[in-house]
Amino acid sequence: MNRREFLRQLCLLGVGAAALPFFPASAEASWYIPSVLPGVTVQPTHLKFGALENRFVTDCIVVHHIGMPNNDDVSAETVHQWHLNNGWAGIGYHFLIRKDGTIEEGRPLGTVGAHVYGENRHTVGINLAGNFELAVPTDAQQHAAAHLIAALCTIYQLDPAWQGTVKGHRDLGATVCPGRYLYAQMADIVQEARIYYGSAELTAERLRIAQREREEQEAQRARMRARMEEAQQKNGLGRPSHPSPGTPNPPVRPTPEKPALKPSKRPDLPNPGGGKPAQRRIAM
């Protein structure tokens, strides 16, 4: 069970709607920021952002290109400055892949991006530097994108499927992004991601993450139970009392027997149905 399904079940049980406003820790625990991505190296950028929101659902990875007229290679820091100049909180993509295959850190992974209008609250954005309406992405960019997609699908427990989990920007909006040449390569890139996703390294990582999620969910349930009991005690609604395990149950008394029914007639009288009376002979 993933975090999204866990919170949905809480709401169906009537607990989520009532408890989440009072227990923010249960919501905070539902979004995941890994310290490192498995199998890839991400270059830190230490960018400064304005106000950002946490992303509570991740079920899609969206691929972009920069799309500059001259197909230049640009850094995440440069794009960050462009987006700040637009009045945004900072770079809208979570990752930027340079032409040499270097993966640079963009917007913090656990936050809502600014890369697909109307679809930012459940997606991660990857941008490849270049204009792929004019040129093809480098081999290094394609391999880096495949490994990054596999790593993201691993930590978010997603199936790396083209046109399923992974989409191009044009699939979600009226745009040519990520460019016709990159878009034509996406099926092969995602297929490479699937191969790497099935490696022993990422398979072991998925099992480890799944185990940690189960432990976190159990701990979260325990915290919520404790807080609900605390709230009940404050409101004078204590838990119902039960006999302690060491106290034996009282002996069960047998049900008293019902008194025997009294006969309707005297027992010394003959039974009317016990046989026909003897006939007397009359002398003629």
Two tokens, residue 251: 């002996």
Name the band, by pLDDT with cuts 50, 70 and 90, for residue 6.
very low
Residues, the chain, total?
284
**Helical (H) or strand (E) element with 127:** strand 123-128
CA pair distance 171, 168, nearest whole angstrom? 5
Second-level CATH architecture of 37-210: 3-Layer(aba) Sandwich (3.40)
Q: Find which of 76-80, 258-262, 275-279 is predicted with most confidence, using mean pLDDT.
A: 76-80
**Domain regions of the chain by residue span:** 37-210
Nearest to 32 by CA among 4, 60, 62, 73: 4
Q: Could you read off the pLDDT of 211-240 as tens digits, one per residue?
A: 888 898 899 899 999 998 888 888 876 555
Whole-prediction pTM value?
0.70
Task: Using alpha carbons, select from 148, 159, 152 the residue that is nearest to residue 102.
Answer: 148
pLDDT tens by residue, 128-138: 999 999 999 99
- The model's confidence at residue 268, banded by pLDDT at 50, 70 and 90, is low
